[in-house]
Amino acid sequence: MNDIQYAFINEFGQYGFDFDQPETSTHFIIVSILVKESDKEFLEQEVERIKQKHFLKSAIDDSRRMEILQNLKDLPFKVYAYVIDKRKIREDSGVSYEKTFIKFTKSKVFDDLYRTFDTLDLVAGEQGSKEFMQEFSAYVRRKCIPDLFNYSTFGFNNSQSQILLDMAEFIAHTIAKGYDVKHYSNQYPSFYRLLKNKIITINLWPHDYKHYLYDYHYEKTDSETDQIIIKQAVNLAYQYIEEHRKSEEDDERVRIDLLKFLLFNLKENPDEYVYTEEILENLNAIRINKIKQHYFRSNIVSKLRDHGLLIASSNKGYKLPVCLNDLYDFVNLSSLTIYPMIQRVAKCRDQILLATNREIDILEKGEYDYLKRVIELGKIASLNGE
């Protein structure tokens, strides 16, 4: 039997929209702590030990938060999160009341989790005034019908662990330090570096390329061309996610998860490439059938590019492009493969033409016409000294 994967879900923020009130957050954040059944007991013990030493509280100073993250960073769990900018939700979706916000958000979270994970044993923090978690739990139970043994492959199965729910709340408050205007901390980049390898993705809602432009320009001033490139890259990624989000095909699910990962990386590290190994580790963290490098390149990345998406690559990995140089990286890397291969085909063709007194041309078939023209144009350019 496959190792059961648990998701311990908790939240940060308030449901209201009166942002003039000091207690009303600008963002609402939902965090799932993912842990396999075989690791659950060990994780609970270690987090309990950390709690006894540091007091695992959401409202602590930055130095204590850093110490706790240092202790958590090597433990067996992953983070799958949602960061919802309530200011933009109201503008884009007409959501302006707590009840409509909860209704809107619970269905979005359910649809995304259900699409992303084939099997998931959910545990939610419903205590106190957490109306969203109560509504979300009720919604999932209505949507997911258990089997004859009262077990649902995706849903709530009466699993419990308060210590891991506390951990999810702590991580949600940590992420808020980088997004919520009223809770922002200059230490967030350091928090993020400690959490980076634990985060599968942080889904940003609503989808808006300006999310990325604003934060990117905070660090550097870009040309108008670069703004066009990042806008196009982000919008194409979101369009693809929306177009294929209901697909049942495994490869499409991987492509969507890759795009979400690249979008998240763009938000946190716009100038950095991500090595293939790190991407695969992230994608495979939620999969039983692991993805190999060759399959990833030929069936996932290549197909997205065939669809017209902008994905830059270099010997340092992959990223969504934010400037013209990122696209030059992709062209340069591709040319290192394309040009030598064309030259090899040209030399092979020339040898056969010479050996057969030009009676046999291995590129004479119609489907090779484009390749033949490329080679002939290359010869003309060479003769002209270009």
pLDDT of residue 8: 94
Which 3 state secondary structure label does DSSP give 146?
coil
Fold of 5-206: Nucleotidyltransferase; domain 5 (3.30.420)
pLDDT of residue 5: 87
pLDDT of residue 301: 97
Instruction: Please list, in sequence order, all residues whose beta carbon lies within 8 angstroms of the beta carbon of residue 380, skipping any fewer than 6 positions away.
Output: none
Of 233, 175, 176, 216, the closest CA to residue 199 belongs to 175
Burial pattern 247-276, b for ≥16 Cβ within 10 A else e, equals eeeeebbbbbbbbbbbbbbbbbebeebbeb
Bond before 270 cis per omega within 30 degrees: no
pLDDT of residue 172: 95
pLDDT of residue 204: 86
Assign residue 12 a region (left: φ > 0; alpha: ψ between -120 and 50; beta: otherwise).
Answer: beta
DSSP one-letter string for 66-118: HHHHHHHTTSS-EEEEEEEEHHHHHHHH---SHHHHHHHHHHHHHHHHHHH-S
Q: pLDDT tens digits, the chain, 386 residues: what are they?
A: 467 889 999 999 988 888 888 889 999 999 999 999 899 999 999 999 998 887 766 668 899 999 999 999 999 999 999 999 988 876 656 677 888 888 888 988 988 888 888 788 898 877 656 889 889 888 888 888 665 445 567 777 777 889 999 999 999 999 999 999 999 999 999 999 999 999 998 888 887 655 555 455 444 545 788 888 988 999 999 999 989 988 989 999 999 999 999 998 988 888 999 999 999 999 998 888 899 999 999 999 999 999 999 999 999 999 999 999 999 999 998 888 888 899 899 999 999 999 998 899 999 998 899 898 888 887 766 655 55
pLDDT of residue 210: 56
Of 301, 197, 174, 172, the closest CA to residue 240 belongs to 301
